[in-house]
Structure 1
Amino acid sequence: MTTVQLVDLGPLTQLRAGKLPRRLVQLYVGLWLYGVSLALMVLGDIGLAPWDVLHSGVIRHVPITLGQAVVVFSFIVLLLWIPLREKPGLGTISNALVVGVAADVTLGMFDAPDAMAARIALMVGGIVLCGLATALYIGAQLGRGPRDGLMTGLARRTGLSIRLVRTGIEVTVVVLGLLLGGTLGLGTVAYALTIGPIAQWMMPWFLVTLPGTARVGGIPEPDPELPR
């Protein structure tokens, strides 16, 4: 069975590529659900995704919310795009703003449960929802997230593989997060092992076909850190 390959488009070309109403809805639904998924893992309190280990450590020392930390670090990472000559798109800027807001709104609506079964359910639900949100966001083809652009930019500039660069970034942010008192646990490991396969499985459901897209035998595996 043939499927549609993701395309690498410039910021303006992304907007002119067609099917914009559907893609915009899909983009913002995906970003909002990503923020919700982050909040679910926080409420579960069994470990967070690598970047969120860092965010949770920072808010122990700075009077900001978790969602605000997500937004602040998104823009810090975007500054690192400048020497890497990465080009942000609508999805990039939207990612930097929407995910953190959605996380804070969700955390403000619910209290963390005490029962372990409920906490495990929140962790699992958060990971699955993150995979769905990733497929929605990437499938809209409106630009990379800040952290993903950092990864691809460093890989291009250094000549190292995407996997090696991603691993190096994730290890670095986890170590920094732990030094700051961030939350690391079973959820962190579960996220790292499953988010890629889940997003890969769901991607064909939401990938928007654009003019000029090449037909290939399969969809490339999305990076587990997308769409952050």
Structure 2
Amino acid sequence: MRRSVPLLNLSPREQLRAGRLPRRVVQLFVGLTLYGVSMAMMLRAALGLDPWDVFHAGVTLRVPMTFGQVTIVVGALVLLLWVPLRQWPGLGTISNVVVIGLAADAGLALIATPSGLAPQLALLVSGLVLNGLAGGLYIGSQLGPGPRDGLMTGLSHRTGLSIRLVRTGLEVTVLGVGWLLGGPIGLGTVLYAIAIGPLVQFFLPRVTVALEVPAGSQALRTASSLA
């Protein structure tokens, strides 16, 4: 039986001082890069996106920016919402804002939309699985949550509402706004909603880096979705 490795509730300083930093930084950037590529794969599959990417894609139809650039700007704006919530970003948080968008644009430049439903489905499913692995990699580096995850946990803490309720409210909101802006909703949206949780749950224990920190810092953090 695989031994569970806890996700720790670390301050930004503790994240950097918790040990195994070179391994964790490499894992962080590999995970973020693959996450951006997986977003590009699902976008090129043209069968629907996850809620936040429906929003990102919808915004690209209204402003002269690439998909990756919109992802970066939205991530930065979401990060500003951390201020009244008194959330503190880590290295992983700041890197998330920039790297995922750059990797998504690079992926879009290299990946063409396949011709035919079967290749589209194959690209969609491959992108979804890669997204789950990539999310596990960057979360498991224990260098801070992404801006959207931090917004979710911060709102939950401040309002007293459950993580599940806050996450559902946020994703329904961005999905609805993205759809109104013209973002693509379809089979991929449904598959993402069903599969991403189990995929991250499968990969995360296998890639989370075990850390040694003071006993007082070992409050478990609820692992949730990613970007």
Q: Secondary structure at the match of 2:107?
A: helix
- C-alpha separation in 2, matches of 1:163 and 1:33: 26
Contact residue 18 and residue 213 of structure 2 kept, 8 A: no
Q: Secondary structure at the match of 2:81?
A: helix
- C-alpha separation in 1, matches of 2:54 and 2:43: 10
User: Which amino acid in 2 is paired with 1:58?
Assistant: V
State the match for 1:70 in structure 2: 71
Compare 21-30 and 202-211 and name the one that shifted more: 202-211
User: Which amino acid in 2 is paired with 1:121?
Assistant: A
User: Which amino acid in 2 is paired with 1:207?
Assistant: T
Asked if 1:149 corresponds to 2:150, the answer is yes
Cα deviation digits, residues 155-192 of structure 1 (max 9, x gap): 00000000000000000000000110001111011001
Name the % identity.
58
Question: What residue ranges of structure 2 are gaps of 5+ in the alignment?
Answer: none
TM-score, normalising length from structure 2?
0.95
- C-alpha separation in 2, matches of 1:127 and 1:84: 31
State the match for 1:85 in structure 2: 86
- C-alpha separation in 2, matches of 1:119 and 1:26: 29
- Count of residues paired in the alignment: 222
TM-score, normalising length from structure 1?
0.94
- C-alpha separation in 2, matches of 1:103 and 1:198: 20
- C-alpha separation in 1, matches of 2:153 and 2:221: 14
Asked if 1:99 corresponds to 2:90, the answer is no
Contact residue 196 and residue 222 of structure 1 kept, 8 A: no
Deviant stretches of 4+, over 4 Å: none
State the match for 1:187 in structure 2: 188
Q: How does 1:1-228 map to 2 (within 5 A)?
A: 1=1, 2-212=3-213, 222-224=223-225, 226=226, 228=227
Displacement of 1:62 in angstroms is 0.2
Cα deviation digits, residues 81-126 of structure 1 (max 9, x gap): 0000110000000000000000000101122112111110111011
Displacement of 1:212 in angstroms is 3.4
- C-alpha separation in 2, matches of 1:213 and 1:139: 19
- C-alpha separation in 1, matches of 2:107 and 2:80: 28
Question: What residue ranges of structure 1 are gaps of 5+ in the alignment?
Answer: none
Contact residue 9 and residue 221 of structure 2 kept, 8 A: no
C-alpha RMSD over aligned residues: 1.4
